[in-house]
Amino acid sequence: MTAVTKHRDSSINDKDAIWAAALEVLQEIISPSKYKSTFSRIMPVELTKDNEYILGVPNKFNQIWVERQYLELTTKVIRDITGKDITVSIIVDSSLADEMLSSTNMSVQEIIPEKRIEISTSDDNGFDPKYTFDSFVIGDTNHFARNAALAVAESPGLKYNPLFIWGGPGLGKTHLLQAIGTYVQENYPQKKVVYVTSEEFTNQFIISTQKNTTEAFRKTYRTTDLLLIDDIQFLEKKTATVEQFFHTFNYLRERGKQVVIASDRSPSEIDMNERITSRFNSGLQVDIQPPIYEVRLAILRQYTQSMSIAFQPEALSFMAEKSSGNIREMEGAITRVAAFAELSHAEFIDLELVKNATMDYFKDQIERPISIASIQKEVCRYYGITHAELIGSKRKQDIVFPRHVAMYLSQELTDTSLPKIGASFGGKDHTTVMHAAAKIKKMMSSQAEVYSQIQHLTNALRHKAI
């Protein structure tokens, strides 16, 4: 290793000078991408009298990563430079995290590109197989909604019609709607089931008026046996679409067809003609409230059951405590923890690991809602691409990857539905968003760079007001 010997200079004994010299050498040995993603996160902390050279990194994962990948090499380089028998150790100094936040921009070329996964949009009926009654954890704050949903699924059109489910974001409304859909499809295969968000409904309606196909549009909806309409609050102020929906709704109800509606607020709080909202009241309205601690814990337990790695009880209770009750947020936390564990080859997940992996995750949840626009802006800035590229349809890897990252973050950090996220990315299909998010999740647990970038972007977004 000639590069190492070249720099031998026993006069260097100040911690910063050692590090500067070491970096020069390391930069020549390690590939630029790996060098930048790892060594930009290391700071010299101290050179002790006992010849211990201490380096600081912002988090546990970086510590594990550096120890695993680069400790031997770094030690060798430092011994060579100083001519002393120095021991190098890596400590976590969380104060470094903020300092580095703005200085660790990496370009997308630095990521090992994964084989491109083709996105399929076929055979998709809109139902996510993971949203079933079996996977829905029951607690005091959601059991009415769940029981009503199950009753409707068992005998569509005969029980509560319409069933109106309302509650805050991430509490399981879409889950229940989809569970009803899947149940009815399985048990009453002859019934026509349609799940639609009210945004999609609106778009379809607008397109049908432009193309003079409103008759076909009407027919599609009037021939359903079960209409599941999600996020109805989106129809506020869209008078023409509301009118159209109202006719469909009446038509179906008069014929004993089941309608299920989900909303982020109660019918009386929806800014819509009372003639319509009072109809919503004619069936059954049920609300879902955020789960209490025990239920949060049960939900987390359920998520971790299917994972191959064990969670220590304190690790789970920590997450249940920290969570505000938004279940989507809890899933995000689990994803990060799992990726962290995978990357650091942990044998089990303990409290410390969870704390490190979710360091900034739960912070400021409520005070700072994150918008898709801010995610797109941050992602563009970070990867150095334009907004047009981000939301366009170019398939070049250095654009596709940031696009997928932005979709993943939009799905995880905002309450926006998949179709709406798709729409914000130049009118992409909701399955595209779903696949992009799944792909990033997978990459996070196999590629340290991807994990670090997601953490970095999340921190940046959380620290910024929109």
Instruction: By CB under 5 A, name the binding residues for Mg ion.
Output: 173-174
SS (H, E, C) 56-89: EECCHHHHHHHHHHHHHHHHHHHHHHHCCCCEEE
Q: Rounded to an integer, what distance in angstroms lies between the CA atom of residue 447 and that of residue 263?
A: 38
Distances (CA, A) of 70 to 5, 18, 39, 67, 76: 18, 16, 10, 6, 10
Of ligand ADP, Mg ion, none, which one does residue 409 interact with (CB within 5 to 8 Å by kind)?
none
Of Mg ion, ligand ADP, none, which one does residue 74 interact with (CB within 5 to 8 Å by kind)?
none
Residue 142 binds ligand ADP, judged by CB under 6 A: yes
Residue 392 binds ligand ADP, judged by CB under 6 A: no
Of Mg ion, ligand ADP, none, which one does residue 175 interact with (CB within 5 to 8 Å by kind)?
ligand ADP
Q: Which listed residue (41, 60, 173, 253) binds ligand ADP by CB under 6 A? A: 173
Residue 131 binds ligand ADP, judged by CB under 6 A: yes
We find the least distance from the C-beta atom of residue 197 to Mg ion, in angstroms, to be: 8
* Residue 228 · residue 260 · CB < 8 Å: yes
Residue 331 binds ligand ADP, judged by CB under 6 A: yes
Residue 174 binds ligand ADP, judged by CB under 6 A: yes
Q: Rounded to an integer, what distance in angstroms lies between the CA atom of residue 201 and that of residue 230?
A: 10
Contacts of 397 (CB under 8 A, 6+ apart): 108, 113, 116
* Contact set for ligand ADP, span 37-96 (CB under 6 A): none
Q: Which listed residue (8, 159, 222, 328) binds ligand ADP by CB under 6 A? A: 328
- Residue 70: what residue type? Y
Residue 172 binds ligand ADP, judged by CB under 6 A: yes
x-or-dash pattern for ligand ADP, window 278-317, by CB under 6 A? ---------------------x------------------
Q: At what angle do helices 32-39 and 448-463 cross, to 10 degrees?
A: 50
* Residue 178 · residue 260 · CB < 8 Å: no
For residue 354, the tally of other CB atoms under 10 A from its CB is: 26
**Tokens matching residue 308:** 């191959």
CA triple 397-401-404, angle to 5 deg: 140
102 exposure class (CB count in 10 Å sphere: 0-12, 13-18, 19+): exposed
Residue 327 binds ligand ADP, judged by CB under 6 A: yes
Instruction: Return the residue nearest ligand ADP (CB atom).
Output: 172
* Residue 77 · residue 5 · CB < 8 Å: no
Q: Rounded to an integer, what distance in angstroms lies between the CA atom of residue 300 and that of residue 297?
A: 5
Q: Near ligand ADP by CB under 6 A, which window of 130-138, 311-319, 346-354, 394-402?
A: 130-138
We find the least distance from the C-beta atom of residue 177 to ligand ADP, in angstroms, to be: 8
* Contact set for ligand ADP, span 175-214 (CB under 6 A): 175
Q: Which listed residue (22, 137, 341, 450) binds ligand ADP by CB under 6 A? A: 137
Q: Near ligand ADP by CB under 6 A, which window of 42-50, 166-174, 269-277, 355-363?
A: 166-174
We find the least distance from the C-beta atom of residue 303 to ligand ADP, in angstroms, to be: 8
Residue 458 binds ligand ADP, judged by CB under 6 A: no
Residue closer to ligand ADP (CB basis): 299 or 379 = 299
Please give the residue ranges that form the binding site for ligand ADP (CB under 6 A): 131, 135-137, 142, 167, 169-175, 299, 327-328, 331, 415
